[in-house]
């Protein structure tokens, strides 16, 4: 990539000069050296192993270890957020840990993860046991109530039994003995439970049903196949008054989700043909799901049945509805005894669960203090090993080789960073001081584009980069966009009031930027406004300026310097209107009489705000002509920038056969039009006189520039002057010639413009083709043959002929194309092969760096640059650019009229809002007027902000964006580069943080 060797252009006008360098790092010091480069953030590494998969690289195991550590840290972070524990984030940027510290970090994370998982598992088990014991408690209580109701209704002595039961209901169901909480019996009572069936209990002669011996899983849930779930109410044990009703019946008890009860009941009735008895009752307490932790409502049920077949059906239906079955004794004493044991275990579980949660909280609080710092360290380690995987390893396995892009002005800083990383590591381990080597390489590959930016310029740089990354070392439009973009926006948005609102909003974001950055608000719309706060600030400031020029503030005008117009009407001309009671009558002020002093010092005269009849006509004419001048001025400035690009890249062909014809084409038509506009403003007024030697009757004969431009291209003959030989004003005098020699000059201008088109189309391809032929012949001074010369002359002069002989040139291109030579060759010596990279000094002349160059470059054997000429591609490329420029000058000039259209629309919307909303408040007097003014002001303010500032501002922003991307940058900006993406810890950590918050 050629560049000017003696260029002193500041970096703000062009991208930074970037070079390709080669690094030789000692294996022991490679890690620390890359860490230092990551802190510096000025080196972009290239992948020297593109054909090697990610799983076959040298440091893939270290990357996997980092992934595992990052997974553990994310697990810790989730648990900390689940407990709503604030994580300490001081913004500290610790240094990248040494490789040996990875082992300590892995051990720490492994210990924390295992401890936390064990605590979580124990807590989950305890919560599950607690939930099951709570459900069992409600089952025992509800079944006891059910059997007591049966006993009171059917048992002997029902009146006495009922009274006794009522007394019992007023007492606690379970009397807990304090001795049951002895410390030595705590865990035995929690996890020890005998699941022997009631039948076995009776057969063994009774005994305590709360005997321990079971594990944690044996506390509550009964085995579906176990007989403990069905209690046969037979014999004397099933007495107490309800033996006659439920004799020889079995029953199961359990809990089910409340919303499943209706379907559960219907299925039981249909599947068992009505041969079961179901009783259910809602649990008043809200239970928590042990898996999700969400609250859930459940109900207790008890089902009576007879026979093993019904028992099997009932169990299967319960399993289908995910009902949980629990053992329930059939005698009151056994139920009371079990209830006492359950309550004891619940209290003990609460104690142990609280201690478990306190321990978990302490672990998480301790981890929350360091988890952000640990994440930073792990991500730095991971990024270092990812970068090391891009390196090549020499045969001796003692040196790592890397290639990188780096700014030329940062080479000294990069060398110092390598020195720090190398010396610190090697002196610490072996006392060696072998330095790392940074070797600058020469290459023809296009380097990445590196544009320095700060918080002030980054918004405008993003606007330019959104169109396309600049080609390496071409002019950066951002510096000019900082002024032209807000100004063109303000031309469309000009209003002092609305500009002040925008300025104050941006000023708030600027003054509070540190607090707002610390808040890390993730709203996308807010981030868009906050990122462009300095762009908005300048747009508001320029809008105040253009609003001052338009003399427009909320559709009103300010009379600061005094109007240059006065009332020229005599009293006898206005008195008849007063006599008739007409207070508002449109009258015309004749400029020859009413214009009494010098023009208004700056901006539009405030009297035009009162001219309701022709206000729009005056403002439209002024703004339309101003838009044309601004547009052509910006496009001409773009062409001047293209000249600087051509000169910087030493592209003489582009200067001679692109810039000069384009500038002549632009000057002969469009710059000439701008000069006509300015001369018309200065020379022609409402007063009659002599202008450029022609008698000027008055404003009705002021030159019509649009019709004159059409007549210029049609080369139509016109009369000279505005007054004929007979002294009468010519009909259509505004279309006549208005300065001496106008017809001659305009004819010359049109011919020059037309002649520039074939020059732009054919001259550059011709000289490129000629240079290609000379290169192939090996003699730069060898003349072309007669036939070839004739063909070239015919091609330049006769455009239609050139279009038909294009296939012939395609055939010649295929015949004359030179074979591509490789820049890397391998020399075979004996049994060993050695690859040698051949580098050449870049050529000092030639073009093509900015998107308008001479084509791709090749290498000859002697090291000189050669051009692989594809004539068809060159002609198509040149034809596209020629047509685009010629037609684009016309369409782009018309496109700039959006400045006038948007300005007119904004002013009219503002006027409508004032007239239809706020002015209505002034029609009432007294208290009603005060209240209506207060209310309508807020309506007017909010409508102004949301419609005129936000919506109209967004519209003007998008139109200004299009004018810069298409109309301005297309004249000089290639945008074929790729961005410089250095290895930087700061950018990596910021990207990770944004990904987390997203």
Q: Given this model, what pLDDT does residue 795 score?
A: 55
Is 35 a residue whose pLDDT tops 70?
yes
Question: What is the DSSP secondary structure assignment for residue 437, as one 8-state letter?
Answer: E
pLDDT tens figures, 736-753 = 999 999 999 999 999 999
- Each residue of 36-68: b (16+ CB within 10 Å) or e? bbbbbebbbbeeeeeeeeeeebbbeebbebbee
Distance, in Å, from the CA atom of 785 to the CA atom of 172, rounded to the nearest integer, reads: 121
Residues 6 or more apart whose Cβ sits within 8 Å of residue 461: 451, 453, 476, 478
In-domain check, residue 466: no
Q: Given this model, what pLDDT does residue 484 score?
A: 96
Is 431 a residue whose pLDDT tops 60?
no
Q: Give SS3 for 725.
A: coil
Is 800 a residue whose pLDDT tops 90?
no
In-domain check, residue 109: no
Residues 6 or more apart whose Cβ sits within 8 Å of residue 24: 399, 400, 401, 436, 437, 439
Q: Where do the H-state alpha helices sit in 759-824?
A: 764-777, 786-797, 799-804, 806-816
Q: Given this model, what pLDDT does residue 728 score?
A: 84
Distance, in Å, from the CA atom of 297 to the CA atom of 275, rounded to the nearest integer, reads: 28
In-domain check, residue 824: yes
Nearest to 232 by CA among 197, 207, 206: 197
Is 960 a residue whose pLDDT tops 90?
yes
Question: Could you tell me the sign of the dihedral formed by the alpha carbons of 181, 187, 188, 192, in that order?
Answer: positive
Distance, in Å, from the CA atom of 697 to the CA atom of 734, rounded to the nearest integer, reads: 11
Final residue in a domain of this structure, among 852, 876, 892: 892
pLDDT band at 482 (very low <50, low <70, confident <90, very high): very high
- Each residue of 128-149: b (16+ CB within 10 Å) or e? bbbbbbbbbbbbbbbbbebbbe
> What average pLDDT does range 807-825 have in this prediction?
46
Nearest to 352 by CA among 189, 111, 571: 189
Q: Given this model, what pLDDT does residue 815 score?
A: 52
Final residue in a domain of this structure, among 424, 441, 458: 441
User: Which of 217-221, 566-570, 589-593, 639-643 is the least confident region?
Assistant: 217-221
In-domain check, residue 801: yes
Dig out the tokens for 974 from the structure: 């290639």
In-domain check, residue 532: no
Distance, in Å, from the CA atom of 392 to the CA atom of 404, rounded to the nearest integer, reads: 12
pLDDT tens figures, 907-943 = 999 999 998 888 888 877 888 888 888 888 999 999 9
Q: Give SS3 for 934.
A: helix
User: Which of 102-116, 174-188, 804-818 is the least confident region?
Assistant: 174-188
Distance, in Å, from the CA atom of 488 to the CA atom of 486, rounded to the nearest integer, reads: 6
Length of the chain: 998
In-domain check, residue 231: no
Distance, in Å, from the CA atom of 758 to the CA atom of 746, rounded to the nearest integer, reads: 20
Burial of 601 (0-12, 13-18, 19+ CB in 10 A): exposed
In-domain check, residue 708: yes
pLDDT band at 562 (very low <50, low <70, confident <90, very high): confident
> What average pLDDT does range 810-830 have in this prediction?
42
> What average pLDDT does range 20-38 have in this prediction?
91
Dig out the tokens for 352 from the structure: 């142990």
Distance, in Å, from the CA atom of 273 to the CA atom of 266, rounded to the nearest integer, reads: 10
Burial of 220 (0-12, 13-18, 19+ CB in 10 A): buried
> What average pLDDT does range 151-167 have in this prediction?
45
Q: Given this model, what pLDDT does residue 393 score?
A: 83
N- to C-terminal Cα separation, the chain: 40
- What are the backbone angles phi and psi of residue 57, rounded to the nearest 5°? -90, 165
Higher pLDDT, 424 or 265: 265
pLDDT tens figures, 495-553 = 999 999 999 999 999 999 999 988 888 888 999 999 999 999 999 999 999 999 999 99
Other CB atoms within 10 Å distance of the CB of residue 367: 22
Final residue in a domain of this structure, among 892, 913, 942: 892
In-domain check, residue 507: no
Distance, in Å, from the CA atom of 405 to the CA atom of 413, rounded to the nearest integer, reads: 14
Other CB atoms within 10 Å distance of the CB of residue 671: 18
Q: Given this model, what pLDDT does residue 826 score?
A: 32
Q: Whose structure tokens read 């892995």? A: 106
pLDDT tens figures, 349-396 = 999 999 999 999 999 999 999 999 999 999 999 999 999 999 998 766
Nearest to 544 by CA among 580, 496, 479: 496
* Domain span including residue 820: 630-892
How big, in percent rounded to 5, are the helix, strand and coil portions of the chain? 60, 10, 30
Percentage of residues of the chain with pLDDT beyond 90 = 43
For the CA atoms of the chain, what is the radius of gyration?
Answer: 46
- Each residue of 853-892: b (16+ CB within 10 Å) or e? bbbebbbeeeeebbbebbbeebbeebbebbeebbebbeeb
Q: Given this model, what pLDDT does residue 642 score?
A: 95
- What are the backbone angles phi and psi of residue 274, rounded to the nearest 5°? 75, 15
Distance, in Å, from the CA atom of 132 to the CA atom of 670, rounded to the nearest integer, reads: 89
Is 244 a residue whose pLDDT tops 50?
no
Dig out the tokens for 81 from the structure: 């957020």
- What are the backbone angles phi and psi of residue 641, rounded to the nearest 5°? -65, -35
DSSP 50-81: TTS-GGGSTTHHHHHHHHHHHHHHHHHHHHHH
Q: CATH number of the domain that 33 lies in?
A: 3.30.70.260
The answer to whether 378 and 69 are in contact (CB under 8 A) is yes
Is 838 a residue whose pLDDT tops 50?
no
Domain count within the chain: 2
Distance, in Å, from the CA atom of 662 to the CA atom of 983, rounded to the nearest integer, reads: 42
Is 410 a residue whose pLDDT tops 50?
yes
Nearest to 868 by CA among 800, 933, 816, 946: 816
Q: Give SS3 for 403.
A: strand
> Cα–chain-centroid distance for residue 51?
32
Other CB atoms within 10 Å distance of the CB of residue 997: 9
Higher pLDDT, 983 or 593: 983
Distance, in Å, from the CA atom of 580 to the CA atom of 557, rounded to the nearest integer, reads: 31
């Amino acid at each position: 990539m050629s560049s000017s060797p003696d260029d002193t252009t500041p970096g703000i006008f062009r991208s930074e000069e970037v070079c390709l360098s080669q690094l030789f790092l000692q294996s022991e010091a490679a890690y620390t050296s890359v860490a230092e480069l990551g802190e510096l953030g000025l080196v972009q590494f290239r992948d020297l192993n593109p054909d090697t998969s990610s799983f076959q690289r040298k440091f893939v195991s270290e990357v996997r270890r980092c992934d595992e550590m990052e997974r553990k840290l994310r697990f810790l972070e989730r648990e900390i957020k689940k407990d709503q524990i604030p994580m300490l984030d001081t913004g500290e940027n610790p240094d990248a840990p040494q490789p040996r510290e990875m082992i300590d970090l892995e051990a720490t994370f492994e210990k924390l993860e295992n401890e936390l998982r064990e605590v979580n598992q124990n807590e989950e088990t305890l919560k599950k046991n607690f939930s099951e014991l709570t459900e069992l408690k409600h089952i025992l209580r509800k079944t006891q109530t059910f059997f007591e109701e049966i006993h009171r209704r059917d048992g002997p002595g029902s009146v006495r039994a009922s009274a006794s039961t009522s007394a019992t209901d007023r007492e606690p169901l379970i009397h807990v003995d304090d001795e049951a909480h002895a410390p030595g019996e705590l865990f035995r009572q929690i996890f020890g439970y005998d699941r022997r069936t009631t039948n076995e209990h009776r057969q063994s002669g009774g005994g305590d049903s709360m005997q321990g011996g079971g594990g944690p899983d044996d506390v509550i849930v009964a085995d579906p196949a176990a007989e403990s779930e069905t209690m046969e109410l037979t014999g004397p044990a099933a007495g107490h008054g309800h033996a006659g009703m439920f004799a020889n019946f079995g029953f199961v008890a359990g809990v089910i989700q409340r919303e499943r009860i209706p379907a559960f009941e219907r299925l039981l009735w249909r599947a068992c043909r009505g041969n079961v008895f179901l009783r259910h009752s809602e649990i008043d307490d809200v239970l928590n799901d042990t898996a999700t932790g969400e609250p859930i409502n459940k109900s207790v049920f008890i089902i009576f049945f007879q026979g093993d077949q019904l028992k099997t059906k009932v169990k299967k239906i319960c399993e289908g509805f995910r009902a949980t079955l629990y053992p329930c004794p059939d005698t009151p004493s056994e139920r009371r005894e079990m209830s006492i044991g359950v309550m004891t275990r619940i209290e003990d579980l609460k104690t142990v669960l609280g201690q478990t949660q306190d321990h978990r909280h302490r672990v998480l609080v301790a981890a929350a203090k360091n988890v952000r710092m640990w994440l930073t360290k792990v991500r730095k380690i991971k990024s270092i090993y990812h970068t090391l995987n891009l390196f090549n390893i020499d045969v001796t396995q003692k040196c790592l080789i890397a290639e990188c892009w780096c700014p030329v002005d940062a080479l000294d800083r990069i060398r110092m960073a390598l020195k720090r990383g190398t010396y610190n590591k090697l002196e610490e381990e072996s006392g060696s001081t072998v330095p790392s080597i940074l070797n600058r390489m020469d290459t023809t590959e296009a380097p990445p584009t590196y544009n320095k930016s700060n918080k002030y310029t980054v918004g405008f740089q993003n606007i330019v980069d959104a169109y396309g990354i600049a080609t390496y070392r071409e002019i950066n439009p951002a510096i000019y966009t900082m002024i032209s973009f807000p100004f063109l926006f303000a031309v469309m948005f000009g209003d002092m009031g609305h500009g002040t609102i925008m300025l104050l909003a941006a000023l708030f974001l600027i003054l509070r930027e540190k607090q707002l950055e610390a808040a890390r608000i993730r709203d996308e719309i807010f981030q868009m406004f906050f990122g462009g706060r300095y762009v908005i600030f300048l747009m508001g400031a320029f809008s105040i300026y253009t609003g001052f020029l338009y003399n427009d503030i909320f559709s009103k005008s300010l009379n600061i310097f005094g109007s240059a117009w006065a009332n020229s009407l005599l009293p006898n001309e206005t008195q008849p209107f007063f006599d008739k009671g007409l207070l508002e009558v449109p009258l015309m002020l004749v400029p020859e009489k009413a214009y009494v002093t010098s023009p208004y010092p700056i901006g539009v005269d405030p009297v035009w705000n009162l001219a309701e009849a022709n206000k729009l006509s005056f403002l439209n004419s002024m703004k339309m002509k101003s838009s044309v001048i601004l547009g052509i001025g910006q496009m001409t400035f773009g062409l001047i920038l293209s000249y600087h690009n051509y000169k910087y890249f030493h592209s003489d062909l582009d200067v001679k056969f692109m810039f000069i014809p384009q500038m002549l084409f632009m000057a002969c038509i469009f710059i000439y039009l701008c000069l006509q506009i300015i001369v018309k403003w200065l020379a022609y007024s409402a007063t009659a006189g002599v202008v450029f030697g022609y008698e000027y009757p008055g404003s009705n004969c002021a030159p019509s520039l649009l019709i004159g431009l059409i007549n210029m291209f049609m080369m139509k003959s016109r009369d000279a002057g505005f007054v004929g030989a007979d002294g009468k004003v010519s009909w259509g005098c505004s279309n006549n010639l208005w300065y001496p020699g106008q017809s001659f000059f305009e004819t010359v201008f049109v011919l020059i413009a037309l002649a520039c088109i074939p020059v732009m189309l054919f001259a550059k391809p011709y000289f490129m083709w000629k240079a290609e032929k000379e290169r192939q012949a090996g003699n730069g001074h060898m003349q072309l043959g007669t036939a070839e010369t004739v063909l070239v002359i015919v091609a330049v002069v006769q455009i239609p002929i050139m279009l038909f002989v294009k296939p012939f040139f395609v055939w010649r291109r295929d015949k004359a194309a030179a074979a591509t030579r490789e820049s890397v060759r391998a020399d075979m010596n004996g049994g060993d092969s050695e690859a040698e990279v051949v580098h050449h000094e870049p050529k000092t002349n030639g073009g093509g760096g900015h998107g308008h160059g001479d084509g791709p470059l090749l290498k000859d054997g002697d090291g000189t640059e050669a051009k692989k000429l594809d004539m068809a591609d060159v002609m198509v490329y040149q034809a596209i650019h020629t047509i685009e420029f010629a037609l684009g000058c016309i369409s782009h000039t018309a496109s700039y009229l959006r400045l006038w259209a948007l300005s007119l629309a904004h002013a009219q919307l503002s006027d409508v809002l004032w007239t239809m909303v706020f002015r209505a408040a002034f029609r009432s007097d007294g208290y009603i007027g005060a209240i209506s003014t207060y209310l309508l002001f807020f309506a007017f303010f909010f409508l102004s902000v949301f419609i005129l500032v936000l919506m109209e501002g967004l519209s003007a922003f998008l139109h200004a964006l299009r004018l810069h991307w298409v109309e301005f940058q297309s004249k000089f900006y290639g945008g074929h580069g790729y961005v410089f993406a250095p290895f930087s810890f700061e950018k990596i950590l910021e990207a990770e943080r944004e990904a987390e918050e997203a």
